[in-house]
Amino acid sequence: MPHCLAKDAQDAIDLHIIDTKSLDDWLAGQDETVRDWVRLNGFSGKLGQTLLIPADGDRAVIALAGYGTATKRARTHFPLASAATKLPEGTYRIASGLPEDMAETECLGWLLSGYRFDRYKSKSDKVVALVPPQGVDADRVAILAEAETMIRDLVNTPASDMSPQHLAEAATALAEEHGAEIATIVGDDLLEQNFPLIHTVGRAAATPPRLIDMRWGTSGPKLTLVGKGVCFDTGGLNLKPGSSMSLMKKDMGGAAHVLGIARMIMAMKLPIQLRVLIPAVENSVSGSSFRPGDILASRKGLTVENNNTDAEGRLVLADALALASEDKPDLILSMATLTGAARVAVGPDLAPFYTDDDDDALALSAAAARVDDPVWRMPFHEAYETRIEPANADLDNAPSGGFAGSITAALFLRRFVSDARYVHFDIYAWQPSNAPARPLGGVGTGARAVFDALPHMLKL
């Protein structure tokens, strides 16, 4: 990542962050030469504007970054990042204008403004460094940036290089980096160890399905993260049209997110017992594909009438959630790119979540506001339970009618959780257009909010 945080440097350029309302006040404290230069160059404090003010010898001694208006800043994430990408190579020190409560978030945005998915294409090696303001934990910011970068890289990688096996390899590398234990159940062993739904969904693919199980920490409250790892989703026999299949490399976004959160937890050494479960499959088409109308067995013993093979994510999560419950953790949290209905409801920027626990909901909402990672609570609406109860099985994975699709999916998942507080995120994991520090492509949605809320949720 070409943008970085730096220790204090004598040659760092002072960077003044100036919003449109404060420009006149700032100019009033400068000498006439500076005032004339700023006016001559048309600097107005507009969001994303930059200006270097030279001194003798053409050395830039002052840099200005426009911070816009409060209204403009509210419409974007990481507003300082829009200026960071326009500054020339060098090291900068924030001299004024950055609100204290935004310092950590803007430092993170500075780092992420240098993100490019470069596995298949080279990128600029220009280094733009920032000396973080006093009070900002640079190590913490770097960990958050590394986790977000991992989430983006995993989601952006095409399915040809991000199969269930590749996803397991990525999880193994993370486990080895932080001294975690990891085990993987592969192929027909899933049947022998009673994970029939994971096996059913993934059995048609050339790469066998698997369940990834990572553990870290030996004391403290138990947290289990469950992430949907559908590495590519054709829709199965209910085949998606081409326009709906083009982004299906991102259907393992839930897995990428829980691995990102796990990286944060382990790198920051939170005093918890962490478990990460990822059912990793490809939903493909072959002679062994599962069919619409099949009635499927699950680990928990509940039967599922499969009314749409494109509603496979909740099937693989069901077995993983049943396993998670057997360990009796204090909290189970799942993340999945589960339903288009969630996107229709809240769009790509908000991470909708479900929980029956009001304290957990408040903790997540407060954390989201602190770290600029917006979330929105959705209801486990009891009146819709009948929608997932068909005539011929215990549960229906794809109720007809199309109403409340995200809610019925969440209710379906909740049926497989026992004796634990449960939070479910129905995320998008994709930035649909370029924005400051958020280029088009894979993106973390809700991961930082979860991490920031965990100390409250687990009473650390």
Give catalytic residue positions.
240, 314
Using CA atoms, how far apart are residues 347 and 287, in angstroms rounded to an integer? 36
Using CA atoms, how far apart are residues 149 and 444, in angstroms rounded to an integer? 9
Specify the pairing of strand 304-305 against strand 295-296: antiparallel
Using CA atoms, how far apart are residues 56 and 306, in angstroms rounded to an integer? 74
**In whole angstroms, how far apart are CA 90 and each of 52, 63, 360?**
12, 11, 43
Token pair for 411: 């209710």
DSSP character at residue 185? E
Contact 333, 222 (CB under 8 A): no
Token pair for 317: 């999560």
**In whole angstroms, how far apart are CA 420 and each of 327, 341, 439?**
10, 26, 37
Alpha-helical segments (H) within 118-208: 138-156, 164-178, 189-192, 196-202
Contact 29, 153 (CB under 8 A): no
DSSP SS3 for 450: helix
For 422, phi then psi, to 5°, come to -135, 135
Contact 305, 291 (CB under 8 A): no
Using CA atoms, how far apart are residues 248 and 263, in angstroms rounded to an integer? 24
Using CA atoms, how far apart are residues 14 and 178, in angstroms rounded to an integer? 37
DSSP SS3 for 101: helix
CA atoms within 13 A on the CB side of 323: 27
Q: Dihedral (C-alpha) 269, 274, 277, 278: value to the nearest 10 degrees?
A: -10
Work out whether the CA dihedral 411, 412, 414, 418 comes out positive or negative. positive
